[in-house]
Structure 1
């Protein structure tokens, strides 16, 4: 078996430096107490945990809450190890130290085939690559919420930090009471001894400070009381009561408001403008020309006493936007270029095994298919916004962001100050989906604030600006070719895809100091194609990376979101062509992938696969692994009055150890609705560099009446936790498309789906 892959490498000034650095142990993520924010009455025990005077626990929170329940899940890990009620864990924003960086997300970027890289018996080269990238990630300390990686990344560091803090507190009590630490029990944050002595954590916090016991291990699985149990999310009460602070909720004394109006052409610059009419409107104070920050688009911002006045002022500005240059982005031309690339370029080989060319030469027949997916917008419920204040050579920003360090770097760049002079206040996010991994809107807000003479200003995009100036999921094409042998079995599978690579474009605009001049192969382009679990003996998967000029970014589940539609639709096509049941066909090919087979079988059983359907309905099935989790879905579909109707979606998931089962179910439901909107309606068209869809009437979402019933079934597991926020997105479109084929006999090869 031959698999081609690439490994990220770290290069120092000399070979000796690299060898010396590589021999050093991985940087500890426990951190020192000085990293915690100093607050009156609280005692920091390490870089993650403080103990309040009343015995409550304060957790440094480095991840953003955007509805995925991460603030609750991570608090549960701490509450479990410290034996305190979940309600007694309070959160404060973590600082910028490297211990808070997301190591798991970077390690997951390595493009290894999952059947090679799972479990304890992975090859030495994979272990080495993961170890090296983990070390690099610890040094870089990139704090990002994305890739469904938060719990996976902090599973061990947080439990270790909490377990160490608990041991320090127990040790302090033992010293004060002059009893063995082993005789002290803890319940609900209260330490007790058989002699009758007791104290809550707050009473021993000062005595425990400076103590870091060695040889600490987190609780054994059989001792868990909270992990694995459903728990109410800690962010819900404030949201229900209207007390939660999202970016647009920020209010500061003397605050001004700004609305943007950007060049209609993606990537265009600001233009000469007549501001007289705008400045004559009530409340409008000034108009600021905006540069194109963070790979975005230039334009203007109008500052006023409230958002409505600012928006009216922005529309009143007279601007002569220049005509789009020849060759401006156009989706029809881009898709023609992708097709040409598929036919003329070999691309980068992500995976190869067996002898596919030989199998093709001896085949009795071949099946070819071309699949396509369009550009998509993120369409977060809360449009882009940022509140900024530039005063006394310091910058404060209040921002819903997935990348606080990159937001800080952008603010410092625009204001011309050092990063240490910028304070980032991360609010709740009204949807992220990858859009808030960008910092273009942060640059705009700081530029406007610099013109406001020390007053804080809240910059908010309209829905139209948000929709027409996104960083879009790329449009991709994929060509499939399979060979059928004399026995009627599939003897080879060849896949070549084409489309823009996201990661190098994102790195160049969000972290140019980390981005090199040469594009490395980007796993996100081929994920969901090169890493299929099916046991075809002969395979070849490659990708042709293109540069369309359209700003592209990470969209919920990234490359998996369209590649799963391509691959699982074609797998279904192979089953039908070889006259096999789609479930049985997949299971036969999964004999060496029992985890996948178990998830697939569970979904099929719970959905009643193979049983008679009501008249006019059919089922479709799909299986996909992404972000460490395996998800299978069965969709029950009909066509009513010429419209596709999805009645029921049954999900099965193996996501490793589950922290909060309720959150898993919530994310499966969220993913299904988000993916269904894209599958049925999602499409961004660009003509002359201008996006044609500008609001929900032209870019619809699934409504409540259109939403299906979603059932979630979790496979018990003792593996390390894996992702939950994104893995249920990819299999939805192919499950629905496969059901439509069963219902109509028409194979859907392009998104969005249509009758």
Structure 2
């Protein structure tokens, strides 16, 4: 059996529908890669089933340029390199010879897992694995057919190499560009063969990043870098509490400030437009805006905690998983262990604050910004301007960090609204303070875990209750209209309500964010119960790196650590005993224990902790070594073992494990958004700190070789780090840390 075929999901695909070829206006070969579910190249509407798979575009120009339009955004996670490598492999062309451009908003580029043009969930590579490789293989086939005709030689005598087709025996060659016209006239064979892993030249071997040099040189264009002719700068003064409405402001005083062009009321506050960013920022300080607030607005962090506790005590919640009879065992007279865990609201704190450039004129809107969801951005612009979706163009840029923040489009809507009301080309830039105070946060959560133990102190029942809001309740209002671009704007609210009503059906994906990483509890305890209790305090929330895994891994692994202690067993050995049904988790656990020297003799002030977790299809185990020094946690070393299936770019896997560990350790040790009198109390890195270089541990990553299809790497490095740190801190201090962030005093 063809081994590479085993790596690909079964899809019913007509090869002739799959790929359409033709000549572009300049005489180049334009290749439309039409994937399963798409009836034709030019039909960008939904199919009868309401689902689409993404289209990718490949263009070969007469000058021999190979242009690949990337339908996933690049925000540091490596899609720019990784997905291009898939194409390059099948074209037998080095990835660094291919030019990459970003896709604009188009239904053809929808992520097949979400039904939206969305980059998130660490699935960019896995969702592109078969499609892009088959696309490259199809184009290679057409080029070889054309060269066979041109050279009057059998295809077996020819080979592709770095955008040329050459004769194996003589080295005589012709460029892809020169073959473009002839290739466009070839018939596509019924069967397109992709390479087997043994034939790979670049997959698993190409370790460079295609975007590195441009970023180092400052040549990469991020949203904040966009400059257009006659551009005006804008800042928006927003209510300090969510949902506040403007009562009054010194608009005339602001208008008199140097460089100010316009001051106007907008949906979320007051916009100040000026000739420069600092002129707009300075003028906003004299507004002295007064606000009216709803009595239902959030007031304090304590009030939110009390809401969660009340829900836990009085709401039975929704059963997510029920194996065996946990209730009977937990009500019996045996020994019961009970733990309570909390995780706070968290900001995204991307290095590039929110920004967008917008121009609205003659019934059309254009936006230049970095966004994780271009089609959702279209909806945000349409709602803010009353311009039809078809007339909204999104020019996507490099993203200076996403982490889920740029799935929400509030900043793009603001820029579009100001552009329409002023008739100017507007560049909106948020300050760091605005970026933190007006974020859409990772939701806070409360957890109660109970375990029934047998006479040997081993667990026989596990119950996990999760109190947390649902992100879908907040995200659906822009996402649902984006799934149905034909719908007029007056239907948008109805589509939002329909999205909530149909959640968990083929129409709308289930919001698993509250319980992901908990519902698939991997340990072989015979009786398992997982429940979700919805509690929404009215704090704006959105997706945050690793989403529900970020708190559920902390809870599950910390509780397992404490159950191991109750049983008098080593934390590593206890996990081994209960991971018999999860061989890939067990493999990374054993690997990290071996590489990290679990249980070896350490200096008396150095302590180890261990944790393991599966998320986004990948399996990660981490072993932490730390000490407490001068009342502060000092991370020394983190050993990380990862099984993410077949690796496309080993260096990017390593980078993403390191990035996830730093991001997760920052949250575990420092991250916390709190509220007082309805306002977010944090504002910048002095009170919402990020881990600094001198605080970062030595990170050692071990990649498990695998023939399985690629899975996520952008997020799976994050979830295990908090429980691993908590485990080591218990050994260092004798205190259990069941609430994040971990506070020693």
State the TM-score, normalizing by the size of structure 2. 0.89
What is the aligned length? 688
Q: How does 1:211-610 map to 2 (within 5 A)?
A: 211=186, 212-291=188-267, 298-323=268-293, 325-362=295-332, 364-453=334-423, 455-512=424-481, 513=492, 514-515=495-496, 516=498, 517-518=500-501, 522-610=511-599
- In the alignment, the residues of structure 2 paired with residue 220 and residue 339 of structure 1 have an alpha-carbon distance, to the nearest angstrom, of 55
Using the TM superposition, give the Cα deviation of residue 327 of structure 1 relative to its aligned residue in structure 2, in angstroms. 4.8
Distance 1:669 1:153, change over 3 A: same
Q: Deviations over 1:118-175 (max 9, x none)?
A: xxxxxxxxxxxxxxxxxxx4xxxx1111001100111111001111011111111112
Deviation per CA, 1:343-383: give whole Å up to 9, x if none: 22221111111222333355631100100001001111111
SS at match of 1:526: coil
Distance 1:316 1:221, change over 3 A: same
CA contact (8 A) 1:84 1:187 kept: yes
For 1:87-236, list aligned pairs within 5 A: 87-104=96-113, 106=114, 137=115, 142-193=116-167, 196=170, 197-209=172-184, 211=186, 212-236=188-212
Alpha carbon RMSD of aligned pairs, Å?
A: 1.9
Question: 436-445 or 497-506, which moves further after superposition?
Answer: 497-506
Shift in Å at residue 322 of structure 1?
A: 1.8
How many angstroms does 1:195 deviate by? 6.9
Give the Å deviation of 1:544: 0.7
SS at 2:514's partner residue?
helix
Match of 1:46 in 2: 32
Matches for 1:1-16 after TM superposition, within 5 Å: none
Q: Deviations over 1:603-638 (max 9, x none)?
A: 111111000111211000000011000110011111
What's the offset of the Cα at 1:26? 7.0
* Cα separation, 2, equivalents of 1:699 and 1:194: 61
Distance across 1 between alignment mates of 2:734 and 2:367: 55
In the TM superposition, residue 25 of structure 1 has moved relative to its aligned partner by 5.4
1:741 to 724, 730, 733: 730
Q: In the alignment, is the contact (CA less than 8 A) between 2:376 and 2:478 conserved in 1? A: no
SS in 1 for 2:414: helix
Instruction: Trace 1:76-91 onto structure 2 (pairs within 5 A).
Output: 76-91=85-100
The offset of 1:33, in angstroms, is 5.2
CA contact 2:356–2:427 (8 Å) conserved in 1? yes
Distance 1:245 1:323, change over 3 A: same
Instruction: Tell me the TM-score normalized by structure 1.
Output: 0.88
Q: Which moved more, 1:48-57 or 1:368-377?
A: 48-57
What's the offset of the Cα at 1:269?
2.9
Aligned to 2:44: none
- Structure 1: which 5+ runs fail to align? 1-23, 107-136, 292-297
C-alpha separation between the residues in 1 aligned to 2:685 and 2:65?
A: 45
Contact residue 518 and residue 552 of structure 2 kept, 8 A: yes
CA distance in 1, matches of 2:20, 2:365: 26
Provide the rounded CA distance (Å) in 2 between the counterparts of 1:583 and 1:86: 42
List alignment gaps of at least 5 residues for structure 2.
Answer: 1-10, 34-56, 482-491, 505-509
Q: Distance in 2 between matches of 1:187 and 1:363?
A: 72
* SS at 1:321 equivalent: strand
CA distance in 1, matches of 2:430, 2:25: 35
